[in-house]
Amino acid sequence: MPSTFNLKKFSFLVYGLGSTGYSVIKYLKKKKVKNFYVWDDNKKLRGKFKYKKVKNLKKTLEKVNYIILSPGISLKKTKYKKYLTIFKKKIITDIDLLYLDNLNFKSIVVTGSNGKSTTCKIITHLLKKNKFNVKLGGNIGIPVLDLKVKSNTFFVIEASSFQLSYSKFIRPDYAILLNITNDHIDWHGSMNNYIQSKLKIFCLQNKNNFALVNDKFKDIFKKKNFLSKLVFFKFKDYKKIKDKIKNFYLTSKANDENMNFVYALAKLLGISEKSFVTSMSTFSGLPHRYEIFLKKKGITFINDSKATNFQATKFALISSKNIYWIIGGLPKKKDKIDLKFLKKNIIKSYIVGKKINFFKKQLQGQIKYEVTSNLKTSVLKILKDIKDTRINQSQKSIVLLSPSAASFDQYKNFELRGNEFKKICKFYAKKLV
């Protein structure tokens, strides 16, 4: 990685005009870079831009120094995969551009199949409470190039496997690998490719940087001969102070893994145990991730719409009992629902979405289930089942939306799915007697 990088001396093609592409364009203009082009496979979309037009994509790819590719674009599926594959070595990401152009910030990069957003939010909250100058961005929703870099700024960056697969210059001061489960295999092509993309966060780290790695992947880390300091930590260290934190959301079993990493990071940053406990007690949680949004007549309603694979749902199922569980959507390739140690917590499951047969097959022989097709029907059926079966209102029940699947069969994103679920629950909860 170069110590300095004058953007004006290089040429770029911004490939993909979604939110990340827009962010890159704004950044290049801000830096007064004139030699850049824009492209999107959608002809109408690219036609709206006034920048240098790409008349011949192949020739433009040949002459530019770097291709800044939007993270959602797969080389295997894009219309012009042949050309992009030829010039693969030129592909970088918006996160790479951040590192190339800025030297005066520190970064904490978090990746993993599950828990990234929650962990990033917790870390950001912790640092703010302890008077760090901190910015949060990346896959969590705010493109990193939209963040203002000031001296001694800490950037907390959520990095997806899509971003990391193309990354060449990412160099975190603190790199966190939470976990790796079957996710996005259809995009990456194989589990090995998926793992290798996650390991990118360690490739350019030096001996002064830190790597916080899930126990399961420490051996892989060592075999790669990465230069950063591997931080060994054990859950028992966090467990000693867990009971001191007055925050049900964080101290639920669902967040044990996330909190273990955050506590280890806190110690590296010199944050005292007392400050850690105080900071964590004021954390309000993350929308759509084990979000307890309503309690009514002994029923607790939880929105966990962000759980788009079973491993993510597993955390919610571990943390609760007497669960009426809404599941369904577009499942991830090779995802399996194993309820061996969890079925005691589940009263019944309600299947929604278009992949009903997949979920019926997965749940058959494990727990009682019913096909309800959509969220409204599910909520109404659950409330009726609770009324018919429980003895009195002192018997606590959980209504849980934790789909274990993507939302795209019925909703544009998991946020819309979660918001509709909350709206439905709040409306019908008013009628509970």
Domain CATH code at residue 82: 3.40.50.720
Same domain, 312 and 235: no
pLDDT class of 75 with cuts at 50, 70, 90: confident
pLDDT(186) > 70: no
Alpha-helix residue ranges (DSSP H) falling in 171-319: 185-188, 191-198, 200-203, 218-223, 235-242, 248-251, 256-268, 273-280, 310-319
DSSP conformation class of 344: G
Range(s) of the domain holding residue 203: 102-280
Same domain, 107 and 88: no
Same domain, 122 and 254: yes
Last residue of a domain, one of 44, 61, 92: 92
Question: Does residue 108 form part of some domain?
Answer: yes
Same domain, 110 and 251: yes
pLDDT class of 394 with cuts at 50, 70, 90: low
Q: Are 24 and 47 in contact (CB under 8 A)?
A: no
Distance (Å, rounded) from C-alpha 400 to C-alpha 417?
A: 13
Last residue of a domain, one of 92, 112, 134: 92
Question: Does residue 391 form part of some domain?
Answer: yes
Distance (Å, rounded) from C-alpha 415 to C-alpha 220?
A: 35
E runs forming strands in 374-430: 397-401
pLDDT class of 1 with cuts at 50, 70, 90: very low
DSSP conformation class of 90: G
Angle formed at CA 421 by CA 309 and CA 178, multiple of 5 degrees: 30
pLDDT class of 3 with cuts at 50, 70, 90: low
CB contact set of 250 (below 8 Å; sequence gap of 6+): 122, 259, 280, 283, 285
Last residue of a domain, one of 226, 247, 280: 280
**pTM to 2 decimal places:** 0.81
Question: Does residue 168 form part of some domain?
Answer: yes
Same domain, 196 and 73: no
- Expressed in angstroms, the distance from the first to the final Cα of the chain is 65
Residue 130's φ and ψ, nearest 5 degrees, are -105, 25
Give pLDDT tens digits for 266-311.
999 999 999 999 999 999 888 898 999 999 999 999 999 999 999 8
pLDDT(126) > 60: yes
Q: Number of folded domains in the chain? A: 3
Same domain, 56 and 116: no
Amino acid 216: pLDDT: 79
pLDDT(49) > 70: yes
Same domain, 52 and 75: yes
Distance of CA 41 to the CA centre of its chain: 26
pLDDT(109) > 90: yes
Give pLDDT tens digits for 16-37.
998 999 999 999 999 999 999 9
Q: DSSP characters for 143-175?
A: -GGGSPP-TTEEEEEE--HHHHHH-SS---SEE
Distance (Å, rounded) from C-alpha 114 to C-alpha 158?
A: 11
Mean pLDDT, to the nearest integer, of 316-320? Answer: 88
Most confident of 80-84, 139-143, 316-320, 377-381: 377-381
Q: Kindly report which listed range (147-151, 321-325, 352-356) carries the lowest average pLDDT score.
A: 147-151
Question: Does residue 365 form part of some domain?
Answer: yes
Same domain, 360 and 416: yes
Question: Does residue 196 form part of some domain?
Answer: yes
Q: 323-328 and 346-352 as β-strands: parallel, antiparallel, unpaired? A: parallel
Mean pLDDT, to the nearest integer, of 89-111? Answer: 93
Q: Kindly report which listed range (58-67, 196-205, 335-344, 390-399) carries the lowest average pLDDT score.
A: 390-399
Same domain, 118 and 81: no
> Hey, what are 215's tokens?
């126990």
Same domain, 121 and 261: yes
Q: Hey, what amino acid is at 361?
A: K
pLDDT class of 151 with cuts at 50, 70, 90: confident
- For 229, the 3-state DSSP assignment is strand
pLDDT(104) > 90: no
Which residue shows structure tokens 């909250």?
125
Question: Does residue 184 form part of some domain?
Answer: yes
Q: 153-158 and 36-39 as β-strands: parallel, antiparallel, unpaired? A: unpaired
Question: Does residue 2 form part of some domain?
Answer: no
Same domain, 138 and 177: yes
Helix axes 116-129, 273-280, angle to 10 degrees: 120
